[in-house]
Amino acid sequence: MKIEIPGQPSRRQLLTLLGGAGGLGLLALAGCGSGGDSASAGGGTASTTLGTTGTTAGTTSTTTGTATVTSAVPEETGGPYPGDGSNGPDYLGMNGAVRSDIRTSLGSSTAIAGVPLTIKLTVLDLKNSAKPLTNAGIYLWHCNQAGQYSMYSQGATNETYCRGIQPTDSNGTATFTSVWPGAYSGRWPHIHFQVYPSVSNATSASGKLKTSQIALPEEACDVVYTTDGYSASVRNMAQTSLSSDMVFRDGWSQELATATGSTSNGYTATLVIGV
């Protein structure tokens, strides 16, 4: 399992920190992009099919092909901001924690800013002929447009946005409505998730099957980050890549999502994983 240390200033400092991180038990986040892919810069739109990138008029479409899932998605750190009670705050047991729309804090109707994003995570049970894992509980969380984590970041400790629990349906899919996460210093853009046998297990943080991360496609990130509120993400993305990211650098093929949509109408990010 990899250890995530937020706000890393340099590779040299990272190596020093990792050398002494031993038993900290930090958890990690998931990101976007593809190791050798690059988005062309014309017109603010990217279209990618099987590694080929094109750009047109403000809409991003990324197609990576349909791969057969034969191995489990890698176990990843949940990062320092899990909100599962393992590092301070516990979102899982809160009233209202089970919800699909995670753009607001619990008890609030004010949605956070950002490009709309629908997240669809499909879970296959590799111990049962890779059939959809139905009625599982998925806990998903990520940072906001500015790279802040609810319950932890300064000014957001009383917030619970960008966190939610959902059951998987008959296709093994859990769906969340959110905003596109920002890119913060030291990490490629990403989304965290945990898989539990049921929603009941998720709300009690028991019997966890997997902790991992979703990597968002580079081309879509490049387009989203041209919109208002994401200027810091442009600078932060320029300083990292999937191949240098502390979580994804040893391989991201099973964690890289497909993204379709536009900045005006919103995006949908999908990923199929095995557990």
Residue 210 resides in a domain: yes
Return the amino acid letter for 32.
C
Number of domains in the chain: 1
Distance CA 194, CA 82 (A): 10
Residue 5 resides in a domain: no
Distance CA 269, CA 267 (A): 7
CATH code of the domain containing 263: 2.60.130.10
93: domain range? 11-30+66-218+230-274
Residue 155 resides in a domain: yes
Q: pTM of the entire structure?
A: 0.78
Residue 81 resides in a domain: yes
Distance of CA 137 to the CA centre of its chain: 16
Residue 37 resides in a domain: no
Rg (CA), the chain: 17
Residue 127 resides in a domain: yes
Distance CA 60, CA 220 (A): 6
Residue 207 resides in a domain: yes
Residue 43 resides in a domain: no
**Per-residue pLDDT for the chain (275 aa), expressed as one digit of tens each?**
444 434 433 332 333 333 333 333 333 333 333 333 222 222 333 332 222 233 333 433 333 333 468 899 999 999 999 999 999 999 999 999 999 999 999 999 999 999 999 999 999 999 999 999 999 999 999 999 999 999 999 999 999 999 999 999 999 999 999 999 999 999 999 999 999 999 999 999 999 999 999 999 999 999 999 999 999 999 999 999 999 999 999 999 999 999 999 999 999 999 999 99
Q: What are phi and psi of 18, to 5 degrees?
A: -65, -35
